[in-house]
Chain A
Amino acid sequence: MKYTYYPGCSVKSTEIGYENSLKACSEVLEIELNELDDWNCCGATIFPKLNRKAYLLLSVRNLALAENYGKDIVTVCNGCLTALSKTNFYLQQNRDAFEKINRVLEKLGLNYQGKIKVRHFLEILIKDIGQKKIEEKIKKRIRGVRVAPYYGCQYSRPFGPEHPENPHYLENLLILLGAEVVDASFKTNCCGGILTIAEDNSHKLIKSILEDAKRLKADFIVTICPLCEINLQLFQKKIGIFIPVVYFTQILGYCLGIEISKLGKEIYSFKGLLK
């Protein structure tokens, strides 16, 4: 299975561990990820607030470049997923705008036809690869460990393959890996996003997620977005609740038998729990 890989800014800097585990898992599962050459930032949730036209064009440039590869885009960040999907939707609904934007793109020698779909790697695992194939490659299982799945808000909203408030692909994956999955009502609550730097009020959201996870006796939280991971980890000292937070690809990688050193440093935070 081949896809165009859109990394997003976070996994190229502090979240390089996420990308490492993603690449390691893809190799084992025979998924070919071709990184989009010269991709630019998606604009996250900041550009649309300040300059929505620039926001559209940032995404369109990525989509146009990806169209040359001819494969769907796979990303591992909710923010990037939303930015690119929203742009696709907007272009579909506003044909005149689409034409005007293409005229601007042509000045750069680019053109976008609207043929690229954008998907999260989690969806690829469950829908395209399938649980059966993953199961065949599993070498270890994490039995007796209680896991809280945390999707974050932008995986299933505003667009997504699953129910906007009750997705279950992550639970499916974790159950496959042998974990005891807790019923996390907070699984699509917002972590505070980019506002956690500026707005102390948003830390209450992180607090309530950590509190719920502790109340459900979860041993660790599994995330699918770098911003969620950072937010949930960074403020634990301030809030006073400590619980390891790891990426789904890292857990998956561990169960696929990949060496821990290739999976990113986050995985060391729950080494003690793993058998």
Chain B
Amino acid sequence: MVEKIIDKVKICIQCGTCSSSCPLNFAMDIPVRKLIALLKAGYSKQVLNSRTFWLCLSCYFCKVRCPKKIDLPEVMYNLHEVCLKQNILPENKITLQVYRAFIKVVNLFGRNFEPLMFFLSLYKSPKKLLKFLNLGIFFLKTKNIPLLPSKIKDSRSLKNLLKEADLIEI
């Protein structure tokens, strides 16, 4: 799988536009550009264990500015997938909690339902949950807090569809 990723970045000339464009570059342990260089050089273990791609916001600054038009967010997504298959978890546990919560809710209702998603993301980290509830007070003033989730009617077919997804060879 890592070979396929390396294939995408063969053309990189290491200019560094991606690292400098990335809004969260200050929080990364390995700059984006260096991550690509390490991948090409075969240091995949170091790459998969880094914090960098977990911080990708999908803002696409890197992709539109890359002089070789490399689809970097796609590379970051692929690295996420490889990590989870090899059970390499991120430093920030809450990130994965959020993702897993989202997926659970979508699998359940076919659509996201924020209150449940929030709760499932943060129930394991009560301090953070409290912080958010504190901030969330403004929500009561200006937002509508839904009590019931919006669901799709044919949730069984969606579940089947997603099961079939894993079997397609693309």
Contact = CB atoms under 8 A, between A and B. Distances in A.
A and B touch in the complex (CB under 8 A): yes
Contacts of A97: 168, 170
Contact of A269 (B63, B115, B142): B142
Nearest to A107: B164
Contacts of B97: 198
Interface of B is mostly: helix
A136 interface: no
A104 B97 CA distance: 30
A57 B163 CA distance: 10
Given A12-B111, A38-B153, A164 B64 contact: yes
Contacts of A105: 161
B124 to A, nearest CB: 12
Contact of A100 (B98, B132, B168): B168
B55 interface: yes
Interface residues of A, number: 67
B162 A194 contact: no
A14 B146 contact: yes
B15 to A, nearest CB: 18
Interface of B: 23-24, 26-27, 55, 57-61, 63-64, 71, 73, 76-78, 80-81, 84, 92, 94-95, 97-99, 102-103, 106, 110-115, 118, 121-122, 132, 134-136, 138-139, 141-146, 149-150, 152-154, 157-158, 160-162, 164-166, 168-170
18 contacts: A13-B112, A13-B114, A14-B139, A15-B143, A40-B111, A40-B152, A46-B99, A46-B103, A51-B81, A51-B162, A51-B165, A53-B168, A54-B162, A57-B161, A100-B170, A190-B23, A193-B58, A237-B135
